[in-house]
Structure 1
């Protein structure tokens, strides 16, 4: 064993008994505030039936925390079944303990180390042959813990019952010897020593009166635990469903935003394309300005149409045959052609009706800024 393990065991030996003694003291202090009857009813205190034959009667007491209350008095001898018939139903589950009169047992006070508090019976068993004229096989014994006696010390009391007296008692008790949960003894003041001198193999097992309630409480706790787990699972499932719906809504919103963004981008691309196309060709004002400069005097236009890249002119002119070379030199269009034949105007004005077509072409760099009209328009837009 290493040094730290030895130290740990020493610390446990010092602290363990003190902690156990404190817990016992604390429990007894709390129970002192509760009436004994309530302690017995709630199962917080040990209760038992004490039996003692005296003066031809079997006296029966209910003992709760060292306090006795008379229950019944039956003529002795009496059978255990007869006692069952006169007992209150609440007392049937209490253990039966035989109470020996004073002087039937041997009592010896001992002082032991506090570390022996957890195994008092085993430790005291080695002291029987030194404290009594009997060895451990010749007596039935129990140990009373009388409390702390200074630092790391305990006061205990050995209570021994010689086997010869026990056998004589078994003959006297008759069938009660096999129907008891224990044997206790009175002290010189008439109080019970609170020991059990009956050997463990001979003790009649008693059902725990709270066992049924404990089982019911355990089952109820298990059911409540299952219900709580089910409720928790349902809550998690609802939370997941709500989160899924929230995510789906966010996804739909994102898809809507993406669709609107796509539409906006398409509109911007279309507008950009139209702007590029508009910038590549002359505006209507520029076309009018160019025609005004290039058409000779005496020429009238009845129709001017611009469709896509095509330009169509319909009108009257005295120099209709010269219009093609006059207009061909313009940088705004190309492929100027007369469509059809020239037709004389019937008003004797000397004018011919013509139809011209041309193909608009992209403007050269900064061409739109060379026209006076465009310059005037830019000047008006300037702040």
Structure 2
């Protein structure tokens, strides 16, 4: 229990006035007046001060209350074990009413701590730690979400690149197939070439070798009409520029001439009807 005993009239009270700027340090300022205004020495007394009012000119009416330290110590000793529990000592005016002062020095005042102060400090610390943990968890969650989003973006980019690569490969295959198909469509097949040769070569002609390397056709064989072979092969839509490669060589065993013929495969002439080529072959033979 906080108690503030009151002193009887064993004190010295001095009134005066001060500049209002001294109001904030009233007790400190009036402490220097103890030696001049009271019969006590400053180091032998306990004192306090109060403001009584404000004058018309703005000056403060103040009162300095001083009690001898010996008197105060005697009063405290009379209280016995209660003295250390005091929070302050007051003085009474002429009517016995307390002045509202505290003549007990700061070093001798009992300062009771608020029992909730430590609890509040602990609760504040716990709240701060919880707030920090919550913010850290929120930051960790956002970082994890950002990393997951980055992984998803990288996966999407990888899939897009793979799809683009597959599309490029597919286009290359399509373009390559179209090119091969176009090339094949414009080049006579081996079957067409052999059929055309069978139609144009006379019956007394035998082939020992037939080869096609690129655009070059090579015929080697024996014929009883070797001199007319060039004329028979001219006019075909499947090849151009038929000609003998070298001179005819008589073969005494077969009584035929050995020949070597060359021609160039014609591009863009595949699939021409055989009847047309046969008619051109007949015209060439008639001309010979």
Q: TM-score range by the shorter chain?
A: 0.5 to 0.7
Matched-pair contact (CA < 8 Å) for 1:143–1:159? yes
Matched-pair contact (CA < 8 Å) for 1:116–1:123? yes
Verify: 1:135 aligned to 2:38, yes or no. Answer: no
Q: Distance in 2 between matches of 1:338 and 1:245?
A: 72
Residues 234 and 278 of structure 1, relative CA distance in 2, 3 Å threshold: same
RMSD: 4.2
Report the equivalent of 2:153.
250
Report the equivalent of 1:232.
135
Q: Distance in 2 between matches of 1:339 and 1:143?
A: 143
Residues 264 and 159 of structure 1, relative CA distance in 2, 3 Å threshold: same
Aligned residue among 329, 335, 340 for 2:216: 335
Give the match's secondary structure for 1:182.
coil
Report the equivalent of 1:104.
10
Residues 159 and 272 of structure 1, relative CA distance in 2, 3 Å threshold: same
Q: Distance in 2 between matches of 1:119 and 1:144?
A: 11
Give the match's secondary structure for 2:29.
helix
146-155 or 254-263, which deviates more = 146-155
Q: Distance in 1 between matches of 2:10 and 2:34?
A: 17
Compute the displacement of 1:217 (Å). Answer: 1.0
Q: Distance in 1 between matches of 2:25 and 2:121?
A: 31
1:31-69 deviations in Å (ceiling 9; x for gaps): xxxxxxxxxxxxxxxxxxxxxxxxxxxxxxxxxxxxxxx
Compute the displacement of 1:163 (Å). Answer: 4.1
| Count of residues in Structure 1 that have an aligned counterpart in Structure 2 | 225
Matched-pair contact (CA < 8 Å) for 1:115–1:152? no
Unaligned runs of 5+ in 2: 206-213, 224-237, 240-261, 273-288
Q: Distance in 2 between matches of 1:136 and 1:199?
A: 13
1:134-180 deviations in Å (ceiling 9; x for gaps): 33234321112446657875443211113454355356545555553
Q: Distance in 1 between matches of 2:25 and 2:96?
A: 28
Matched-pair contact (CA < 8 Å) for 2:218–2:263? no
Residues 172 and 266 of structure 1, relative CA distance in 2, 3 Å threshold: closer
Give the match's secondary structure for 1:336.
strand
Matched-pair contact (CA < 8 Å) for 2:2–2:85? no
Aligned residue among 156, 169, 186 for 1:266: 169
Matched-pair contact (CA < 8 Å) for 1:125–1:136? yes
Q: Distance in 2 between matches of 1:145 and 1:238?
A: 61
Q: Distance in 2 between matches of 1:361 and 1:275?
A: 21
Q: Distance in 1 between matches of 2:218 and 2:64?
A: 141
Matched-pair contact (CA < 8 Å) for 2:54–2:61? yes
Report the equivalent of 1:213.
116
Q: Distance in 2 between matches of 1:150 and 1:259?
A: 95
Give the match's secondary structure for 1:225.
helix
- Which structure has the greater CA radius of gyration? 2
For CA contacts below 8 A with separation 6 or more, give which structure has more relative contact order.
2
Unaligned runs of 5+ in 1: 1-93, 289-303, 325-332, 343-355, 372-383
Report the equivalent of 1:159.
65
Verify: 1:197 aligned to 2:78, yes or no. Answer: no
